Structure 1
Amino acid sequence: MLSRSLTDDAELRALEPWRAPEFAAHVAAAQEHLLRWLPWGASAAEVDGAEKLLQRYADAQARGEGRILGIWVGDKLVGGVLFRVWDQAMGNCELGVWLAPEAVGRGLITRASTEMIDWAFRVRGMHRVEWRCATGNTRSSAVARRLGMTKEGVLREAAPLHGVRHDIEVWAVLASEWPRSGLGIRPEA
């Protein structure tokens, strides 16, 4: 089982389909917070929807096309990271994240994202990792900045969510720009 310490009390773990009831409860508890930015915030609040989402990522991982990991503080799921898009042939992927409001401000998303980016570059040989967020999601763009990503532009009204079209910022980091920090999910993990 994949498990990676993020802090003294938080870790990154595989978020597999059998965890659908726990994932659905987590999403339902944080739904008001998550719905503002995530299209799956409503459907994943039910066990069936959560299971479908987690199975989609399990199938993608089995094909070598990405993964989804959860962030736990103690025994409580509080957020996660995922590769929403994975194009091995082009060497490009897109990282996505979410976090419950009670876990905000602890650096968990920055640490978990560092692990995922490091794994994508060092283990899977990706060339580019993208980060996309709505222009109003200042916490998300702040993480992209902390990760050393470059803001490449804005896709105007590119993402409809709950009847509103949002401008989407595109951030990215290239393998050649990624620091050799020694952090990350090791190849044997």
Structure 2
Amino acid sequence: MRLPYELGDEYRLALRDGSTVEAMHALTVSELPRLRAWEPWAAADQTLASAQSYAAFTAASYEQGASLPTVIMHGRDAVGSASLRLDRYAGIGELGFWIAAAHEGRGVVTRACEALIKEAHSEGLARIEIRTAVMNTRSRAVAERLGFLHEGTLRSALPLNPRRADVALYGLVLAVGDGAHHP
């Protein structure tokens, strides 16, 4: 995928790297109450040092071909995140995403995920998954708009301090292999 990738309406995907650390840290801190409702990683202290550490991790993962971490930009501002984790051995990708409340409801996350799905297809992946808390209706709606099928519920699979949440598992088959079952 060539980055930046234009999504329309002044939105684009850019590589999440060292140059985006401060902007993503500030955005994460500002959205923390919302993120903590759905993301286990958000429970930890969100320091600039932890953001730098995460950026180094994602950069290494990107360099190894194991992920495509992107920042959703609007103009010059970071407004969210969309990533594709790649398990090349199994031929499976996993989408993760979030966007600032002020930018919800504009189709931006859906367009970002469509771009990442195209990239997964071009990389030869056979399947993509989205895992989200059962009660996260906005993320579930994104999965359904993208044509993912709800394949099951993983009970108590998501640690959201102080409770655990069930996880809705969505799948999208990109390539049909021999012996695969498709509805």
Query: Is the TM-score greater than 0.5?
Result: yes
SS at match of 2:12: strand
C-alpha RMSD of the superposition: 1.5
Q: Displacement of 1:86 after TM fit?
A: 2.2
Corresponding residue number in structure 2 for 1:59 = 60
SS at match of 2:169: strand
Q: Which TM-score applies when normalising by structure 2?
A: 0.90
Query: How far apart, CA to CA, are the structure 1 residues paired with 2:11 and 2:113?
Result: 14
Residue 21 (str. 1) matches residue 3 (str. 2): no
Query: How far apart, CA to CA, are the structure 1 residues paired with 2:21 and 2:70?
Result: 13
SS at match of 1:136: coil
Corresponding residue number in structure 1 for 2:139 = 140
Kindly provide the amino acid, as one letter, of the partner of residue 51 in structure 2: A
Q: After superposition, give the CA deviation of every residue in 1:32-72 in whole Å (9 maximum; x if it has no partner).
A: 11111112225473211111112111111111101210111
Q: After superposition, give the CA deviation of every residue in 1:51-103 in whole Å (9 maximum; x if it has no partner).
A: 111211111111110121011111111101112x4210110121100111011
**Gaps spanning 5+ residues in structure 1: where?**
178-189
Query: How far apart, CA to CA, are the structure 2 residues paired with 1:169 and 1:150?
Result: 10
Kindly provide the amino acid, as one letter, of the partner of residue 40 in structure 2: P
Is the 8 Å Cα contact of residues 94 and 129 (structure 2) preserved in structure 1?
Answer: yes
Kindly provide the amino acid, as one letter, of the partner of residue 139 in structure 2: S
Corresponding residue number in structure 1 for 2:102 = 102
Aligned length: 175
Corresponding residue number in structure 2 for 1:130 = 129
Q: Displacement of 1:17 after TM fit?
A: 2.2
Is the 8 Å Cα contact of residues 40 and 158 (structure 2) preserved in structure 1?
Answer: no
Identity %: 32
Q: Which TM-score applies when normalising by structure 1?
A: 0.88
Kindly provide the amino acid, as one letter, of the partner of residue 17 in structure 2: E
Corresponding residue number in structure 2 for 1:184 = none
**Gaps spanning 5+ residues in structure 2: where?**
177-183
Runs of 4+ aligned structure 1 residues displaced above 6 Å come to: none
Further displaced range: 49-58 or 142-151: 49-58
